């Protein structure tokens, strides 16, 4: 059984999930096998163009709907109050679901300056009962403060790039201060170099686990939710098997010391539509 973490709205979320970018034709099978293996958090986005395929995998798995936390995200081109409401209905239809468990604003797009209006629409969707929890992705502390100040509603989640090469200590602290749970996209850095770091290899050997399991366990012990992507059943199983060992404080510090302090995409300037 995967542990769950509390959200600020009273709901709970599994401590690890399955990412689906950039899956297309392999998405139904990947989602089905992940759910069969025990995953209960599935992450997609309108931008990924695979919501229908993800929904198909959910149906094919046979896992009861109420046991699954399904996340999707509002794409940049659909930001704005009314367009967010329309985009949600499109995502819900493509996924084939009556409700979405977690709906996120994918990027703040500050130049466009519609994320507050989009957030107000998400608050309405939650009040209407068609979304259980609402959150954001790639938001900075300033972006969070603005939507909280203007709506009195703090996001349940902020999904950000986070891995040992980019530990995001300041943003994690900012999220925690605002009662926002941090999720990690690209938790393994999409980088084979990370998994061959001497520190990671030595810690893995000490615990007799795989290098990737060490990195995912680091996320778990930080109190963030990693969302590794894999279509391989063996890799999915390995990624899920991170609750049977524990890293010491020293090992956690060793992994965090790999931080290079650089993100690939700056939330203040990156635009994704």
Cβ atoms of residues 144 and 157 within 8 Å: no
Could you tell me if residue 74 is inside a domain?
A: yes
Could you tell me if residue 143 is inside a domain?
A: yes
What are the phi and psi torsion angles at 101 (to 5°)? -75, -40
Could you tell me if residue 261 is inside a domain?
A: no
Could you tell me if residue 169 is inside a domain?
A: yes
Cβ atoms of residues 45 and 75 within 8 Å: yes
Cβ atoms of residues 73 and 137 within 8 Å: yes
When divided into structural domains, the chain yields a total of 1
Range(s) of the domain holding residue 87: 4-256
Domain CATH for 46: 3.20.20.100
Tokens encoding 77: 């081109």
Tokens encoding 179: 């009662």
Q: What pLDDT does residue 29 have?
A: 98
How far is Cα 206 from Cα 200, in angstroms, rounded to an integer? 10
Cβ atoms of residues 112 and 79 within 8 Å: yes
Could you tell me if residue 146 is inside a domain?
A: yes
Could you tell me if residue 228 is inside a domain?
A: yes
CA distances 116 to 8, 121, 201, 215, Å, are: 19, 9, 44, 34
Task: Estimate to the nearest angstrom the gap between the alpha carbon of 216 and the chain centroid.
Answer: 13
Q: What pLDDT does residue 256 have?
A: 98
Contacts 24+ apart (CB under 8 A), 214-218: 214/247, 214/255, 215/163, 215/164, 215/187, 215/188, 215/255, 216/16, 216/187, 216/188, 216/242, 217/242, 217/245, 217/246, 217/247, 218/164, 218/247, 218/252, 218/255, 218/256
Catalytic residues: 48
Could you tell me if residue 8 is inside a domain?
A: yes
How do the pLDDT tens digits run along the chain, 273 residues long?
A: 899 999 999 999 999 999 999 999 999 999 999 999 999 999 999 999 999 999 999 999 999 999 999 999 999 999 999 999 999 999 999 999 999 999 999 999 999 999 999 999 999 999 999 999 999 999 999 999 999 999 999 999 999 999 999 999 999 999 999 999 999 999 999 877 999 999 999 999 999 999 999 999 999 999 999 999 999 999 999 999 999 999 999 999 999 999 998 777 889 888 887
Q: What pLDDT does residue 268 have?
A: 87
Could you tell me if residue 267 is inside a domain?
A: no
Whether the full predicted model's pTM is greater than 0.75, yes or no, is yes
Determine the straight-line distance between the first and last CA of the chain, rounded to whole angstroms: 37
How far is Cα 240 from Cα 235, in angstroms, rounded to an integer? 9
- Provide the 10 A C-beta neighbour count for residue 28: 21
Q: What pLDDT does residue 1 have?
A: 84
């Amino acid at each position: 059984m995967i542990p769950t973490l509390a959200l600020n709205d009273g709901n709970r979320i599994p401590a690890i999930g399955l990412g689906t970018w950039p899956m297309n034709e392999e998405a139904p099978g990947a989602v089905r096998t992940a759910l069969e293996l025990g995953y209960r958090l599935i992450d997609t986005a309108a931008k990924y163009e695979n919501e229908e395929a993800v929904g198909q995998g959910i149906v094919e798995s046979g896992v009861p709907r109420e046991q699954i936390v399904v996340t999707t995200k509002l794409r940049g081109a659909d930001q704005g109050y009314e367009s967010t409401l329309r985009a949600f209905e499109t995502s819900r239809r493509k996924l084939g679901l009556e409700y979405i468990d977690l709906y996120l604003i994918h990027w703040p797009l500050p130049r466009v300056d519609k994320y507050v209006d989009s957030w107000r629409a998400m608050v309405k969707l939650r009040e209407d009962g068609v979304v259980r929890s609402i959150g954001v992705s790639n938001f900075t502390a300033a972006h969070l403060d603005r939507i909280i100040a203007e709506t009195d509603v703090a996001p349940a989640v902020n999904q950000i790039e986070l891995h040992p090469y980019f530990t995001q200590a300041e943003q994690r602290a900012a999220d925690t201060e605002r009662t926002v749970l941090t999720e990690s996209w690209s938790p393994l850095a999409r980088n084979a170099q990370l998994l061959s770091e001497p520190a990671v290899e030595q810690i893995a050997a000490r615990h007799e686990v795989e290098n990737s399991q060490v990195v995912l366990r680091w996320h778990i012990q930080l109190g963030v939710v990693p969302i590794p992507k894999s279509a391989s059943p063996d890799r999915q199983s390995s990624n899920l098997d991170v609750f049977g060992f524990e890293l010491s404080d020293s090992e956690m510090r060793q992994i965090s010391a790999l931080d290079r302090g650089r993100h690939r995409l700056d939330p203040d300037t990156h635009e994704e539509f």
